Amino acid sequence: MTTNAIVADAGAPAPAAGTVAGLIAEVFATLPCPSETEARYLARLRALAERLAAARLQIAVVGQFKRGKSSLLNALLGVSVLPMGVVPLTAITTVLTGGPLDLTCHFLDGRQSGRALSDLESLRAELVSLVTEEGNPANRLGLLRVEVSLPAPLLERGVAFLDTPGIGSTLRHNTEAAIAALPECDMALFVVSPDPPITDAELAYLTQVRANAARIVVVLNKIDTVEPVERGIALRFLRRVLGEAGLSEETPFPLSARAALRAREHGDRAALEASGLPAIERALDALLNTEGPAVLAAAIAGKAAEIVATLQLEAEITARARRLPLAELDQRIAAFDAGIAGLAAARIEASDRIVGDRARLLDLIEQQAARIAEHVAHQLEAAAAEMPGVGEDLAAARQRLAALVPKYFGEATAAANDTILMAITEALHRHQDRVAALINTVRRHAAKVMQIEIEVAEKTELLDLPRLTAWVTDGRTETLARLSTSWIERLLPARQRRAWARRQLMEEAATLTVRNVEALRWSLRQDVSAILGRFADELEAQIAAAVATTRQAMAVARQRQDESAEMISASAAAGEAIAARLGGIAQALRAARQNPPANAPPTEDRPLHTPISRSGIGPAPRQPKKVRHDSQEHPAIQSVNPCGITADNQGSALMP
């Protein structure tokens, strides 16, 4: 298989000209024999093309823990499939697609394993054992995700729903799994609730969601938990906060997911309408009918545009360098190197700012640790002062106090998690924007040195934020259960024994607070230092790669200076034609990001929901086409071979 080969169905039509798929296909047609550097970028384009050709819009249900994400999906499905409960349940991302009842486990080590299912009851049992914290604590099974196919009308329309873990709980790996799923998200249902109102941590998370999703639908769930007058207040507050976050165009949908599921299971149409679910279904139905392909195309177009712009710059530099005399080329190379050396101060400043943010975040950790210590100490000492009761021995009192430790620390660390997660997210976004600006400075400098006119985006989409974890204890709190009753207390009179026992418990509570807070403090400091260190390395690597790409383009031209004048001229002309075509493609992709043309006709106008049987048996959905490379099916595209030979290229286009 050649570098540009893609596997697809025989006889598949060529992508329509002007669509995002067609624009990506033009890139492969333009670069039939790519260089090593070009091949790396084309591999990224190929992955985007395959995802677009599969025509599967991926809708992630995201939000903070216990906002009712799984309940919303169950209500949309019309049957309780995903686990729901009073504690954070979803620990692993579950991908729901249409098809015969089936379940496949994808492991972190690359393995896959199917599970036999007979009905929905067996599916529910499997999911409880695989994707919940109770069934798979701390992801001891090593799962990456679980894919479930289900014969539900909601899933028959070429869409996949991702049920993600919630962020912000005391379970660090849940937040990590939730953020890891975002790059697969084309559209998002962002779920919040009235109590508590949307938090700063959720808004920080929403920023990451917006970087990946072309459309966001906001759902205010659990409206049944507040009085009707308070619902209006909650909606107005949410609209104001969303407007301040730049999402004023998104109208939040009020919902009671549990009421909707009950109404659907009992066939109560009035209760279903009152739950708010039909309004969400109508909105999704309209999106899928009119905007589904466009939403997917927009998500792909933005990522593809920056890749193509980088390829264009390399082609422009190589072509211009080919036409320069050796002495002048060496002068341009020296000028480029001098300019890059001049950026050293900016690179050092960017690195210093990360160091500065690390210091500020560590100070924030100290402040949060002190607040946790104060809160927990007060709670435990107050509880200890009321123990033991009359007739209760110290051992039983210790057991009662021990049971309070996870509760008090969970409350305190959840608040600290919100504060620290928001702070580190804001810091990483600042550094991401700063380094993106540096990379664009490198591109502009290269274009200036080579006297090239090239459009450089104000913000690049090539930089990804690292995965953030929830800064919590992960259940590592030390408890009092290990402490035993002293022989001294057994010798004291009852009244003195109770007073002595209270003093002992209060001292032990204070000691326990210090131990747990210090363990948490150490863990937070290590985690913050590690993630900022990895991020700094990645950002520096991105800058170095941008510099290396330009240097390599110049070096290639310099190495071919001994060729004949005719060959040099032909090669330069070929490179200029390639650069011009890539520039046009990049510009078209940027336009498609804002106003994407459809890559497929709208989906059939079918209702989003029809009843699903209890057994899970129903009509099998249409399967999306797979992708392959078939040079004979694509019309000839007049192309320029980067090796310097002009030809009609018939073998490098992508087929949907």
Q: What HEC string does 366-434 produce?
A: HHHHHHHHHHHHHHHHHHHHCCCCCCCCHHHHHHHHHHHHHHHHHHHHHHHHHHHHHHHHHHHHHHHHH
User: Which of the 8 DSSP states describes residue 598?
Assistant: P
Residue 290 lies in a domain: no
545: in domain: yes
Say yes or no: 548 and 626 in one domain: no
| Half-sphere exposure at residue 195, Cβ-oriented, CA atoms within 13 angstroms | 8
CATH of the domain at 253: 3.40.50.300
- Report the domain count for the chain: 3
Per-position b or e across 46-80, b if 16+ CB within 10 A of its CB: bebbbbbbbbbbbbbbbbbbbbbbbbbbbbbbbbb
Same domain, 214 and 170: yes
Q: How far is residue 224's CA from residue 606's CA, in Å, rounded to a whole number?
A: 30
Instruction: Indicate if 49 and 136 belong to the same structural domain.
Output: no
Residues 126 and 92: beta-carbon distance below 8 Å:
no
Neighbouring CB atoms inside 10 A of 183's CB total: 10
Q: Output the pLDDT for position 585.
A: 92
Q: Report yes or no on 48 lying in a domain.
A: yes
pLDDT for the residue numbered 455: 60
Quick count: other Cβ atoms within 10 Å of Cβ 576? 18
Do the domain assignments include residue 14? no
Ramachandran category for residue 55: left, alpha or beta (phi over 0 → left; psi -120 to 50 → alpha): left
3 assigned to some structural domain: no
Q: Is 495 exposed, middle or buried (0-12, 13-18, 19+ CB in 10 A)?
A: exposed
Distance CA 322, CA 558 (A): 7
Residue 313 belongs to a domain? yes
442 and 582 together in one domain: no
**DSSP β-ladder status, 215-220 and 187-192:** parallel
Final residue before a domain boundary, out of 505, 529, 557: 557
Confidence at residue 426, expressed as pLDDT on a 0 to 100 scale: 72
**Sequence letter at residue 49:** A
The answer to whether position 299 is within a domain reads no
Do 507 and 588 reside in the same domain of the chain? no
- The pLDDT of residue 470 is 35
Give the residue numbers spanning the domain of 580: 20-53+305-323+564-649
Residue 435 and residue 503 in one domain = yes
The reported pLDDT for the residue numbered 360 is 87
Q: Please check whether residue 280 lies inside any domain of the structure.
A: no
Last residue of a domain, one of 518, 541, 557: 557
234/314 same-domain check: no
* Same-domain pairing of 88 and 25: no
Q: Could you tell me the end-to-end alpha-carbon distance of the chain, in angstroms, rounded to an integer? A: 18
Of 557, 586, 601, the position where a domain reaches its end is: 557
Say whether both 445 and 493 belong to one domain: yes
DSSP state of 288: I
Nearest to 304, CA basis, from 440, 180, 432, 457: 457
Amino acid at 607: P
421 and 513 both lie in a single domain: yes
Indicate whether 112 and 158 sit together in one domain: yes
Q: Is the distance from CB of 66 to CB of 88 less than 8 angstroms? A: yes
pLDDT-flagged residues of the chain (< 50): 1-11, 86-88, 170, 390-391, 458-485, 487, 597-656
Say yes or no: 440 and 574 in one domain: no
